[in-house]
Chain A
Amino acid sequence: MSGSGVPLLAYLLVSGAMFLIGLLGVMIRRNPLMVLLAVELMLNGANVTLVGFSRFWDTTDGQTFALVVMVVAAAEVVIGLGLVVAVYRQRLRLNIDEMTRLRG
């Protein structure tokens, strides 16, 4: 971190905070859309760690993987939202706790 500036620890703390906030959201929110949003937060938290360590070890590997994570996140969102829409059209009631059967 070139001597001055911000230590890695600070980034990790931010990352951890985001991850845990997202985790909390996943656990206590009942709207599937909100759950998806919370998952995005968790992924971002993880990305901060990846990029932080990438900087720290002076290699682009972490950044590379952050990109992979983003791609996966995009895919996840597409499918997740697709499911949400499908459920919405069928039941018109959005509550993740209602979605307990694999076959609707």
Chain B
Amino acid sequence: MKGSSLTIGIVATVATISFIVGLTLALTLAMGAFTFEQLVFSVAAAGAIEFSILVVALPGTFRATVSLIGALLSVAVLFVLLTAPFVAVIQVIVYAGAIVVLFLFVIAYMGERPLAAVADPLVRWQPVAWLVIVVLAAQALVVLLTTDLAVRDELQEGGTVATPGGENPDFGGPEAIGRSFIDDYIVPFEATSLVLLVAAVGAVLLAKRAVQLERGR
């Protein structure tokens, strides 16, 4: 168990570094110039993908959860790069803070226990799962590479659309998001509050029921 985690860690580190270097080079070539932003992006992207793989690949739930923190933070960096500082902050606070902590609590409560030793009833489907993922990845590549996303960039270079931070310095800031919620998306906003309420009530009920069951034993 420990050995395999170590192996995974070493492979991951090597892969990450090479990924960063490769990605930065590729971006530099593609955009025709090297900027600091590209480097940050490369690091964050590599982190996101790397930690994601770790989440799925690591055998223990605790390690996986810690890896998830890495992935979440990497995504937060990506958000910052995308001029979404508010979302990035929330990502860190809610996700990396609250949600992951919740995971850790549960894991701490239950203890790291191995998977029940029963045969996988779906072992025949394992290759199918891989195949499906490959097919979907291929599809995504096909779609992304055949879609001309550069159109929008050209428009901006022509100066027809104001660059963010120019006319709208608050882009991605709390005020803009708040206005968007209140002005345009009041119903979804209220709906989310309802969802949260239901979740809270549901959690309480579940916990209560579980406690009762435990007493009943």
Contacts and interface: CB of A to CB of B under 8 A. Distances in A.
Given A13-B144, A37-B55, A7 B149 contact: yes
B157 A3 contact: yes
B164 A55 contact: yes
Contacts of B33: 4
Nearest to B99: A77
A10 B27 contact: yes
A58 B31 CA distance: 20
Contacts, number: 250
B136 A23 contact: yes
A60 B177 contact: yes
A94 B196 CA distance: 26
Interface residues of A, number: 77
A20 B163 contact: no
B13 to A, nearest CB: 18
B20 interface: no
Contacts of B157: 3
Given A20-B137, A89-B210, A74 B149 contact: no
A82 B207 contact: yes
Interface string B184-214: 1100110010011011101100110110011
A74 to B, nearest CB: 6
B87 A10 contact: no
Question: Range of interface residues on chain B?
Answer: 35 or more
Interface in B34-65: 35, 37-38, 41, 45, 48-49, 52-53, 55-56, 61, 64-65
26 contacts: A1-B153, A5-B37, A7-B30, A9-B149, A14-B49, A16-B137, A20-B137, A21-B49, A24-B133, A41-B71, A47-B91, A52-B82, A56-B152, A58-B164, A63-B177, A70-B91, A72-B192, A73-B95, A74-B196, A78-B102, A81-B106, A82-B202, A82-B206, A86-B207, A89-B213, A97-B118
Interface of B: 23, 27, 30-31, 33, 35, 37-38, 41, 45, 48-49, 52-53, 55-56, 61, 64-65, 68, 71-72, 75, 78-79, 81-84, 86-87, 90-91, 94-95, 98-99, 102-103, 106-107, 109-110, 113, 115-116, 118, 120-122, 126, 129-130, 132-133, 136-137, 140, 144, 149-150, 152-153, 156-157, 161-164, 171-172, 176-177, 179-181, 184-185, 188-189, 192, 195-196, 198-200, 202-203, 206-207, 209-210, 213-214
Minimum-distance CB pairs A-B, first 7: A75-B199, A25-B56, A82-B206, A27-B129, A86-B210, A93-B116, A21-B52
Interface of A: 1-14, 16-18, 20-25, 27-31, 33-34, 36-38, 40-41, 44, 47-48, 51-52, 54-58, 60-61, 63-68, 70-79, 81-86, 88-90, 93-95, 97-98
